Every structure is written in structure tokens, then in C-alpha cells.
Chains A and B, each alone.
Chain A
Amino acid sequence: MSATSLMIPYWLGIALRIYFSSSSASTGLASPDAFNPAQRVEIATPLNAYHRLTEGVALFNQGLDPYSGVLCHEPPLFLKLGQWVQGRRAWAKKIPAFFIMFDLLTAALVGLLARLVVQRLLQRQNEESDSYHKDAAELLLEQTALDSVDFTAQLSYLFNPFLILSSAGQTTTVFDNFFLALFLVAMLKKNRIGACLFLALAVYKSFYPIMLLVPLMVMFMEGSKKSWRQELTTNVLPTLVIFCGFLVGLLWMSYMIMGRNPSFLWATYGFILSVPELTPNMGLFWYFFTEMFEHFRVFFVCTFQINAFIYVIPLAIKLRHDPFLLAFTLIGLTAIFKSYPSYGDVGFYLALLPILSHLFPYTKQLFVVAVMLTVTTVLGPILYHLWIYNGSANANYFFAINLVFGTAQIFLLTDLLFAYLKREFYLINGYKILNQVNESTQKPHARIVLT
């Protein structure tokens, strides 16, 4: 797609973001505004809310340790960045533009990423075409897919309502997404140092992306015929060393910025892992731990956090031929199972869906998922309002929406993984295999099953 045809969507995307961010401009906390994305619990969580960053900066400016309270959970470098940006009087009105700019950069990166992924798919298809079934020719990706995929991916990023609200609400998830997009691009370009740097930044910001180290290693492992010992020395160890080098560097810088005070570690990563705050959001944690019996709390915190990480290795083994799908699945699972998820996290992986459009024909539940997501997105704020402002509903109503929202995302991810398996199966066996078997055995009950 030419650059000019992208101008209109980009301008529209900017206009939408500015429109929604203008409503978040000046209202304080004491005057709640239902249309202010910066105050919506679905969008702004304790980890990414802009007013929490501002609070940290205010305490920092006051000469206090911003992590001595319980409000600020931004890592020190972002705090410092916030301090620098907010310290400039001339920029006071332009801070929303800062977030919108990063969001648009992410959109451009997603376009680039889409192109890279499809290129890789086509390349792999060419390499493996000998091993495909003769029927499978119709299933193969066309070269023309390359022309439109970056356009659709950018469109889906620019007009994703979750992302529009997330950047208009000035959440720092915008930076999470920016680093993740950079990481994915670097990973697909097989740039180990770049990928490690951006991954270290993403991990530094929100910890959960640490599981994306595995797709990165899988990416470099692909196609190589090395023994596991060689793999360890040429791939795994260097990746780990470079990544840890960057991460330790970032943490050391933070430590120095904070005046050699390591309190930020507990306030950021400790906060993410131990889930002490129970402010409502669209995730599963808050109400679960509100209603939890105290003596089971530690057990269930551990269980839920392990649940977020447990899928990495099995999925890496299963999806070893498609590191992007692996990374996508892990990002999606993180958005569902992280302790303080927000629309920004959900929107990011939903925006990457067009890249996986080759799997759509094999999915079964996309319509159901789309309906569930739409319904929950509409009903979520309504039921929250009924609970908090009208008092005519209670917390269960909003939590039910959270459960359905999570279930919809789980359906989406599992459906895509099934679709991937089916596509691989049909590529090898041909899509007419069921008919053939049914005809040959005279039994109309043949199925494709997981066994």
C-alpha cells in the first residue's frame, strides 16, 4: 500500500484519540466523569494510570521516596521521564500528544511486523511446499497477501477501540505496546541484540513479557540442525546473557536514580506478583482476592501467577515452527491472566489478529467471541456504573462481565491454536481427507480429533 493511502487512516486515528483525550483533560479525581478514559477502571489500572505516574512525580519532586506510598508503581526510569516531561511548562498541554505519538509509532511498527510475518510464512511455505499434500495448494497463502496485510494490521491498530481509549486515557500501557512491537519486529528480523534490548525494556516496564524470551530463542533455533549442546551455547546462553545484561543495566540505572534505594523493586515487581491492591479492573484477580479467605491467599496468588507462566514451555514445544504465533499466544495469555490487565493489553494483541488471517477459515468461534467481546465491552461500564454510582447492582455484576470477557479471550486464543493445528494437518494431509476416508470406509462418521 502506498504511503498516501495510509494518510487518511492515520489522521482519523489521531483525530479519534484527540477527541477522546480532550474529555480526560482537566477533570480531577473528585469529579468523576464516566466518559473520561483516564478514570475508567477498565483502561487505567494501578500499574498504568497516568495520575499514579503524576503522583509518583509529585512525591519525587517533594523529596520523598515515590515508592514509600502505595500509589506509584511505575519503574524509576519512566518516573524520571514523566518528571522531565511534566517539568516543562510549555509541554503541559501537549502531554496527550506524547502518548498519541507513541501509539501511532506502534501502529507503524505493527504494519511492518505484519509484512515481516507474512513474508516469513510465504518463505516457509516455499521451503516446505514439497512436503505438502497435493490438495493443499488451495490452502496456501497467496503472494498478494503481502500487499494488503500491513494495511489491514495498521487499520486494526488505529481503529481498535481499546487502543484508542488506552492512549486517549494516557495510560503507560502505550509504552508496553511500543516496546512489544519493537521486540516483535526485531525478533522477526532476527536481530538478537535489538530484540533483547526491547524485551528488557518491556520486562522492566511490566515484568510479564519475560516469557517472550522463549519465542525469541525458538526463532533462532528454527531450521538449525544443531545438537542441543550447540544450541545451548550458540543460542540460549547468548540470548540470556544479552537480555540479562540489558535488564541489569536498566535496574542498575534505576537504583542509581533512586539514590541507591532498592525500594522500587518491591513497589513495581513485588506489586505485580503479590497483588496487594484490589481495585476493580477487567481481570480475574481483583474480586477473586477480595473474596479470598486470608489463609488461602498466598496459595492462590502463587497458583494464579504460575498459571500465567505455565503455558510457555508446552506452547513453545508445540509451536516451535511458528515463533510469532507463540509470541502472540503468550502476549494474549498475559493480557488475560496478568494481575492488573487493561484494555491496552487486550487491544494490542487483538490488533495483531489480521496478521493471522490465514488461520481464520479454520476457526469455529470467531463470531461467538466477537459477540462476547462486544457485549462485555458495552455492559462492563454500565454495570460498573450501576454498582459504584447508582448502588442498584453490586460487585458480582461487574465481575460476571470480567469473567465473560476473560472467557471470550480464552475462546479466541484456543480457537486460533486449534485453527493452527488444523491448518497444519490439512496442509500435510489435504483438506479432502475426511471425504476420502468416509467414502473408502463407507462409514460417514470420520472426524479429526485430538488424541
Chain B
Amino acid sequence: MPAGRPLPSAGQGTPGPCLLAALMGVTLWAAGQAATVPSGSTESFHEEALFKPLANGQVLVHFRFTTLKADPGQDAAGRHFRLFPRSMAELMAAHDLRELDLSLSRGVWREAAMGYHPRLWGSPPGARVQAWFEPESPPAPDHVVQADSVARRWDRLTNALSGQLCASLNFFDATSTLCPRFSFQPAGISPLDHPWENNASAHFQLGYLPRENVCTENLTPWKKLLPCQSKRGLASLLHAAPIHRTNHHSLGLSLRHVCPSGVAHCSHPLLELVQDVTLVFRPHQMPENARDDSASAWSIRSLFGIGLTSACPMAESSQLLFDVTDDLYHLQWPEGVPDRVYEADGRRVRAVHLDHLLERGSSNVIANYRQPVIYGLIPAPRLHAHRYVVGHGQAQGGIVTKITNRHSEPLAVVFLDVIPWYLRTYFHTLRIQTDQGMTIRPHRVDFSPARDRDRPYVLEVVLTLPPQSVSQISIDFEKSILKWLEYPPDANHGFYVSSALITAVLPDRRNFTHIGRYYSTYDQWLESFSITSSNASTAEPRSDRVVRIFTESLLINLPTPDFSMPYNVICLACTVVALAFGPLHNITTKDLRLDVGPEPEGIVQRVKAKVTGILGRSQPLSPPTPAETDPTLEERQ
């Protein structure tokens, strides 16, 4: 494949008639498509990296690799894969998947210091998978969904994903899966003739594995889904060592249907695969800045250890975006590299094409701060949350979530909490109140109690936070004792409780990093502001202002038995039972009798007694019964 723009040809080795049919299909189809898909191609690939300094001196780098493809429907062109990973499309087809979102991350994303997560769906610690399944086609007349079949499809899906990403996603069972009613809606476009709205949550499955570790073995198969893998382009920066040195990193993968130009309805939706990596670096701890405490300059080379050497020839666009809103630093690259400045979404973003940069022989971009970074004054987002465990000891406890709303108007939020079955959660202890002790009456409370080893506790609350308030949602639990073989190898490490989720529609997009709901790339999103600049700030649709905040995941200690003693415990408990059984057996089966004197003395006599006993002539030597000796007894009997 020559470098530069990809050729609009079908793959090699395709038989002639098929090729012709594919080309015809492509041409016909492309005629009706919008501008983002270049004519003659049904697929396109975009790679972007956003560099954003955070208020606490850290640097956020968000890679976004977008692959778009015409919906692989019935026509041959749709089933031909050039850039789009075939395994993902087959995954969707095999499991009747409508949408999929998956994140694997390590480290807490702290909204208060970092703003909102650049992923639309956020990224809680550990693994999270959510999937919308297609309703059965044709849809049943009464829209009754076979929940069972959704659960079965989910089971197959997670097993397939587990193999695809080398993650333990096959551990998603009923105890870690839920389908909340209010917190989620499809991210992409959804066909209007499907009953999404009525019974949507029945098609939805969400699973958390807060203990899942993210490591290089997940990164490698993830990179293989990219057209250039990690050989060329922005993905060549993604080496394991610098990634795992970060404060927070998350790998994401999401599949959905979108319209070509960021609108909600269209006749020919595209299939979109977004692979993203979110990294948070600490530049002031880098060796380059070690000499000076206040120095926090960073460059691509210092962050990733290597520079950019080549662009991905498959990529339609390959852009580096720098958030320069606060004008804290100036960017160094060779003279004459053309760049664009977007004033959009309340931010200033400088964009430069990787091609242009490489043409000028530069493989690096250096950011030098104009003045030392001053910490301490971090303007926290107006909505953020914290969650923690209260109580002490290994018998009881509680979970408290504090949600801060610094808006001057009341804000409706949906709170979703999943508590594993072994924390026996008491619904009647649910308290929702402000810091001043004022009770908040929720609009809706959905609680589904757990069943042991079967399903978790799910609490979903729709409530309105008062303006300028800190609200607190607390619930108490009892810790249960598991069977000794159910404890993980390091039982005293504790058990993870997955993050709670707070979903809200904010009045503005302040602190947002993620792009609008119906857009595929940053480029598209930022361009949309310049096109409709006259009313850009006022016309943000509701769906673009949705924010999802994942709180900290929790680690809770359960009481443990002594793992070394099963035999002793079984023996001792049985002994106590025998202590009752023996005497009661004696008491109920025997009578009190008078026993006169001991057995005959002397060896000879004893042997003789034994022999006669064996011979069955025990009569003369056996002790006399009370009846024989006591005349009074004889009378009674």
C-alpha cells in the first residue's frame, strides 16, 4: 500500500465479479452519502490526540481513533472490510448488538481537579462494559422482550470480548450485571420504529468489574484493531511503559451508529468504532523538570519517550489538538507549519496536522509554560461527587455519596449505585439529605434487592439537588460471611465495590472535554461551531450537555473465617452434636437399674467369665438384677 491517501479499491484476492459488484455498490452508495466519507470509499479512519493541561499541573492526553463504515447490511459492499476491524463488525452481527461501550481503566478520575472525563461514557476504575442489544426482529407486537435471551446474548458477548481484549470480561455474571432504568440511553442514533423508549432498559446490560487490572496484555490486542496498528501514526506513541506510569489511564472502545454529519436523523447511518486512550501525566515529576520545582514543561517526546515519526497512511486525518484556553504555555514547532485555532465550545484549541508537522521534519511538539504553574486554586466543576465507606469493624458499615452542586439553580440528577450481594444493604436506611440536614424527597427511587450469589443490590434515585448545596446519599449495610472457598486468595485485601454513577444534564458545557453526542471526531465537532457560529453557544442540544460522573470505587473488608480449620470445625461441631445424641440415646433406650458390685476378680475368673459369655451361658455370672435382689422391686413388678 503506498503512503498517502488510501486507494479506494477493494482488497486483493477478491474474485472479479464480486469486486465489480462491490465497486458498483460502493459507487451507488457513496452517491447518497454526506461529505465526511470521501467519495468512492465506504470507510474512513481518523486519528486525533488532544493535549490539555489540567488545573492541577497535570497534562491530559486523549487519543481518539475513529473508524467509520457504512452499516454492514445485506449488500456486498457493506460486508467488505478495509479499515474497519472485521472482528468488531462480526461481534455486532453475531450478538445482535446495537451499541457497545467498554472501558478498562486504572486510577480514579477526579472530577474536582481534572474536569469531566473526555469519554462520553466516562471511565470508572476497573472494567466496565455496557451494551444495547437490537430488539428482536420482527419486534413482538406487545414489545415484550425476552429478558432471558438478552442475558444469554450478554453472556456470549462478554466471553467474546474477553477473548478479543485479553481481559477477564468473562467474569461478568449475574452478580455484576444490571440494567438500570433511568441512567442510560443509547448514545448513537436509534431506529425510530424500534420501541427504545418504552422498554429500552430491557435491551440494555451494564457490567462492572472494579477489581480488573489493566495492563499491556489488554493494550496489545486493542492496538491490533487499528488500521495501522501501532506501527505508524499516533498509535505509535502508545507504548506500555509510559502509559503505565500515568496517574490515570483508560482504554476505551465503543461501537454505535451515527449519522455522517453530527445530526440525529439520516437515511444512511454509519457504523462508528471509537477507540480511545486517556492518559493523565505528571510533567512536574518528569526527569527533565527535576532541577526546578516549578518547571512543568512537557513535550511529546518527554511524555511518551519517543517522537512522532510517521503518519498512518490509512488515516483520513491525523491531527494534534492543543487546548490553549488559559494561554498558560506556548507551543514550539517549526516555522511555517500551518495550524488552525478553533474558538469553540468555550475553549480555544490549536490544531495541527501530523502530516504538516512531519513535512517540516519535526517529530516533537514542546510546550513551555510562560510562568511557573501555581497550584491551589483549582476551580472545581460545579457538579462533582465523592463516595466513601463509613463505620468501623467487619460487621456493619455504610456507604455515603456526597454530590456537590455549585450551580445557582436546582439540578436534576440520576444516581445509580450497585452494591454487591455480600453487603446486605438495608433499603430503609437510605437517607438523602443536604449538608444542613434538610431531607430531599427523591422523584423516583428504584431499588432492587440482591439475591445471594445471584444478583447485586441496585439503587437508582432520581432527585433534584438544591442550588449551591452538598447533598448526601447514604445507605447502611451488614457484611455477610461467605463460604470459606468463596473468598479470593488474598481474602484480607478486601472486596471492591464498583463506582456509583451520577448522570445529569448540566446547563452549560463548562469543564467538558468530550464532544457532542452525535459527532464522531473532534474535528467535526469543532468545525460545527464555525459553521453555525452565530448561534453556537445558545443552541447546544440537551444531549450534548449530559455528564456522567463515576465516583471512587470502594474497598471493603469482610469478616473472614479461619481458612486452615475446616476439618477441626467439622469435627468439633459434630462432637457437640454427639454429646447430645449419646446421652439422649441412652436415656431413651435404657432403664435405670441397680448394679450390684463389680465383676469377679482375678485373671482366671475373668477369662472364665469371658469364655462362658461367648458361649452364651452368661446367666450364672451376670450381676443379679434388682428384681432378684430387692424384694420391694419384685413386688412392684
Contact = CB atoms under 8 A, between A and B. Distances in A.
B392 A70 contact: no
Interface string B578-601: 011101111111111111111000
Contact of B428 (A58, A131, A388): A58
B594 A403 contact: no
B595 A449 contact: yes
Contacts of B445: 62
Interface string B555-593: 000011110011001101100110111011111111111
B394 interface: yes
A443 B632 contact: no
Given A291-B569, A443-B596, A443-B597, A28 B429 contact: yes
Tell me the interface secondary structure of chain B in the complex.
mixed
A317 B591 CA distance: 12
Contact of B590 (A131, A414, A451): A451
Contacts of A31: 390-391
Interface string B404-447: 00000000000000000100101111000000000000000101
B395 A450 contact: no
Interface string B600-637: 00000000000000000000000000100110110010
Interface string A69-87: 1110000000000000000
A277 interface: yes
A308 to B, nearest CB: 10
A314 B584 contact: yes
Contact of B478 (A29, A58, A284): A29
A286 to B, nearest CB: 7
Interface in A213-228: none
Contacts of B391: 29-32
Contacts of B588: 311, 314-315, 317-318
Contact of B476 (A29, A286, A391, A430): A29
Contacts of A71: 424, 426, 449
Nearest to B449: A69
A291 B579 contact: no
B573 A403 contact: yes
Contacts of B580: 307, 333, 336-337, 410, 413-414
B340 interface: no
A446 interface: yes
B477 interface: yes
Interface string A119-136: 000000000000101000
B493 to A, nearest CB: 14
A278 B450 CA distance: 16
Given A30-B398, A64-B449, A418-B587, A288 B573 contact: yes
Interface string A369-411: 0000000000000000001110100111001000100110011
A278 B596 contact: no
Range of interface residues on A (Cβ < 8 Å)? 35 or more
A278 B597 CA distance: 51
Nearest to A86: B428
B566 A293 contact: yes
Interface stretch (B154-162, B206-214, B282-290, B481-489): B481-489
Given A388-B394, A421-B587, A280 B449 contact: no
A429 B579 contact: no
Interface string B446-463: 011111100000000000
B596 A437 contact: yes
Interface residues of B, number: 69
A315 B426 contact: no
Nearest to A440: B629
B338 interface: no
A428 B593 CA distance: 12
A447 interface: yes
A294 B483 CA distance: 9
B39 interface: no
B474 to A, nearest CB: 7
B302 interface: no
Contacts of A394: 560-562
A405 to B, nearest CB: 10
B591 A70 contact: no
B561 A287 contact: yes
A360 interface: no
Contacts of B398: 28-30
B483 A446 contact: no
A70 B584 CA distance: 36
B445 to A, nearest CB: 7
B396 interface: yes
Contacts of A321: none
A55 B626 contact: no
B590 A407 contact: no
B104 to A, nearest CB: 31
A441 interface: yes
In this complex, the member of A28, A62, A277 whose beta carbon has the largest number of chain B beta carbons within 10 angstroms is A28
Given A30-B398, A131-B636, A437 B629 contact: yes
B364 interface: no
In this complex, the member of A30, A315, A451 whose beta carbon has the largest number of chain B beta carbons within 10 angstroms is A30
Given A30-B397, A284-B577, A291-B565, A311 B592 contact: no
B570 A58 contact: no
Nearest to A71: B424
Interface string A259-287: 00000000000000000111110001011
Given A29-B429, A428-B633, 9 more contacts: A29-B396, A31-B390, A31-B391, A32-B396, A280-B481, A290-B481, A388-B393, A410-B576, A450-B591
7 residue pairs, one from A and one from B, having the closest CB atoms? A69-B449, A30-B398, A58-B428, A314-B588, A443-B597, A29-B476, A414-B583
20 contacts: A29-B391, A30-B396, A32-B395, A59-B449, A62-B445, A71-B424, A279-B481, A288-B573, A290-B483, A337-B577, A388-B395, A395-B561, A399-B569, A410-B583, A429-B632, A429-B636, A433-B632, A440-B629, A445-B597, A449-B592
